[in-house]
Amino acid sequence: MYDNNPTLVGIKKEIDESRQGEAFYQERQETSAEGATKHFYIESYGCQMNFSDSEIVASILAEAGYRPTRMLEEADLILVNTCSIREKAEETVRKRLRIFDKMKAQRPGALVGVLGCMAERLKKKLLEEEKLVDLVVGPDAYRDLPGLIESAGEGEKGINVLLSREETYADISPLRLDSNGVTGFISIMRGCDNMCSFCVVPFTRGRERSRNAFSIVAEATDLFEKGYREVTLLGQNVDSYKWENPENGKIVTFAQLLEMVALVHPTLRVRFSTSHPKDITDEVLYAMAKYDNICNYIHLPVQSGNSRILELMNRTYDRDWYKNKVRRIYEIIPDCAISSDIITGFCTETEEEHADTLSMIEYANYSMSYMFFYSERPGTLAARKYPDDIPLKVKKRRLQEVIDLQTQVSHRHNQADIGKTFQVLIEGDSRKSDQEFKGRNSQNKMIVFPKADGLQPGDYVWVKVHEASSATLKGEIVDRTEGSQG
């Protein structure tokens, strides 16, 4: 997933950094499964959803008597939660699996398992042809893990890749791995019904289904009571969240869910990801404007700025429609930051059509974007219908143009924040110094500032920005806040 993309490399660094919260991890280890003797090690790749799923897996394994470990050498069970979204992501996982395979030779009895999208896509192939692993478990089959581990331990094939129309793991309380204790993910739905022609996700994660709204609010409340101050509601397409209460047949929409979670506590920030431009409604925007603790940030992937390409991608909106949506967001929430996902070199894309993507970056004034060149995925609509006819060199050159422009736009976006004061939720020490804190503002921008006595992660402070690069803001504390956040 991280590819060669600088933005994603940045995220990877952040994840690695948060993994250094060793003390917290140890503490969870002590409390997670009394008297357990076996250890599991889990590595996650890809989207936030995968990281969130790994916490569900960890909870299921803890119930079955396994303890988490970060030391591969002591693991009885090595799991990789995988991503299939681009070829590169799968290659990275294969490399890791070969390393684990070698390690297994030194640790007889240890099992290696593949979870997530690659398990779903490649199924038996991973067990039979490649013989790299003992367990293959798809995203809807995690409850079956303890049983599958047992059969694999007895030398049978441990495989379950059945997709479900109902599974949401609503009743499972995730075991927070590698957490900073301040920000947490809550998965609100699973799967995707959109069928964007480039995307393998509908095949690997199955049909869309929404989780019980009350279980989501209960999870947010529990996190708040444990000291967390920010939750991100996760789904492939959160705006199509729709849950029918079986007691009274009433539907809870995403806008209503947002309000329910925002009402947990005014000092609990609420974020969400990802929004499909076709589904985000004015009600959602009004809910964001109404509650200070719903963050003013929308990840609104455009994929391409050209209407013909958008049609081939089956995105169901065109350039003008997307532009209207952006206009509407800035109208209702003037200080909202918008970010995007962009694919370059999709099937048959011309230079003029690519130029439309560039101009969309300017028009939407994205604060940042995740940018990729098109990677054909077997079985997708695009792979079946359109030629992957843009040479790799051209795809990469277009990607570089997109990255260069986005870097300029991000820089300008951040420079415009100089002199402004933002409320920041402290997440921990900055990457470079233990004399500095880092935290995000409502717009999801990372701000680094010198520490002050008595403050700790989870506190809110007002920070005035005095310096900005394309990636980070720097500032100074001007006020401490208790109570509500804005």
Cβ of 108: how many Cβ atoms within 10 Å? 6
User: Who contacts 39 (Cβ-Cβ below 8 Å, separation ≥6)?
Assistant: 66, 67, 68, 69, 74, 75, 76, 77
Count of residues binding ligand 5AD (CB under 6 A)? Answer: 12
Stretch that binds ligand SF4, among 61-69, 199-207, 219-227, 357-365 (CB under 6 A): 199-207
Find the binding residues for ligand 5AD in span 374-393 (CB under 6 A).
Answer: 374-375, 377
Q: Which of 175, 199, 295, 390 binds ligand 5AD (CB under 6 A)?
A: 199
382 counts as binding ligand SF4 under rule CB under 6 A: no
**How remote is the C-alpha of 37 from its chain's centroid?**
32
322 counts as binding ligand 5AD under rule CB under 6 A: no
Q: Which of 60, 93, 148, 196 binds ligand SF4 (CB under 6 A)?
A: 196
Q: Which of 54, 59, 236, 339 binds ligand SF4 (CB under 6 A)?
A: 236
Token reading at 86: 């681009």
The Cα–Cα gap between 321 and 126 comes to: 42
Nearer to ligand 5AD, 76 or 239 (CB): 239
301 counts as binding ligand 5AD under rule CB under 6 A: yes
Token reading at 213: 């709204």
- Side chain identity at residue 98, one-letter code: R
303 counts as binding ligand 5AD under rule CB under 6 A: yes
201 counts as binding ligand SF4 under rule CB under 6 A: yes
Residue nearest to ligand 5AD (CB): 341
206 counts as binding ligand SF4 under rule CB under 6 A: no
Token reading at 3: 């590819």
Stretch that binds ligand 5AD, among 90-98, 331-339, 371-379, 433-441 (CB under 6 A): 371-379
Token reading at 210: 């929404």
Token reading at 354: 């690519």
What does the DSSP assignment read for 401-431? HHHHHHHHHHHHHHHTTTT-EEEEEEEEE-S
Q: Are strands 66-68 and 242-244 parallel, antiparallel or unpaired?
A: unpaired
CB of 284 to ligand SF4, least distance (A): 16
Q: Which of 82, 84, 92, 194 binds ligand SF4 (CB under 6 A)?
A: 194
343 counts as binding ligand 5AD under rule CB under 6 A: yes
Nearer to ligand 5AD, 86 or 190 (CB): 86
- Side chain identity at residue 444, one-letter code: N
276 counts as binding ligand SF4 under rule CB under 6 A: yes
Q: Which of 241, 291, 322, 372 binds ligand 5AD (CB under 6 A)?
A: 372
**E strand or H helix at 202:** helix 201-205
The Cα–Cα gap between 379 and 390 comes to: 19
The Cα–Cα gap between 113 and 109 comes to: 13
Say if CB 137 and CB 113 are below 8 A apart: yes
CB of 261 to ligand SF4, least distance (A): 22
CB of 396 to ligand 5AD, least distance (A): 12
